[in-house]
Amino acid sequence: MLSINTANNNLSVKGSTIVEMYSEIEITGTNTSMKIKHSADFKDIPKEYHQIYFDAFRTSNNDTRVYDNTQPVVIAGSSEDNQNRIVKLLINAFKRK
């Protein structure tokens, strides 16, 4: 809320206790993505802890890459087929950027 009183030169601004961050998950090669809204309410957090909680909130929603590194990557087919598929995946990835 913003209010301006020109009679006595007062400016009032009411802040919010809600902090929101927006991010997006994209799975390479699928041409799909999912938008995400992260929200935190600082209403019940004492002011002296706001910065600590904000830093924790910000870093808990940091950019993360997810891979299945428990199994080796195996692409079926001949070596030439594999190379062609990899090249196509890379070309498509660069086209989207």
The domain spans of the chain are 18-96
**Cα distance between residue 48 and residue 80, in whole Å:** 61
Distances, alpha carbon 39 to alpha carbons 23, 50, 54, 65, in Å: 11, 14, 11, 21
User: Is-above-0.75 flag for pTM?
Assistant: no
Distances, alpha carbon 32 to alpha carbons 3, 6, 24, 25, 51, in Å: 43, 51, 10, 9, 35
Q: What is the pLDDT along the chain (97 residues), one digit of tens a residue?
A: 566 676 777 777 677 888 888 888 888 888 899 998 889 999 999 989 888 888 888 877 665 555 555 555 555 555 667 677 777 777 777 776 5
Centroid of chain to Cα 17: 21
Q: For all residues of the chain together, what is the average pLDDT?
A: 76
pLDDT tens across 4-22, in order?
Answer: 676 777 777 677 888 888 8
Q: What is the CA radius of gyration of the chain?
A: 24
Q: Of the candidates 67, 13, 68, 64, which has an alpha carbon nearest to the alpha carbon of residue 38? A: 64
Q: Give the torsion sign (CA, 44, 58, 64, 27).
A: positive
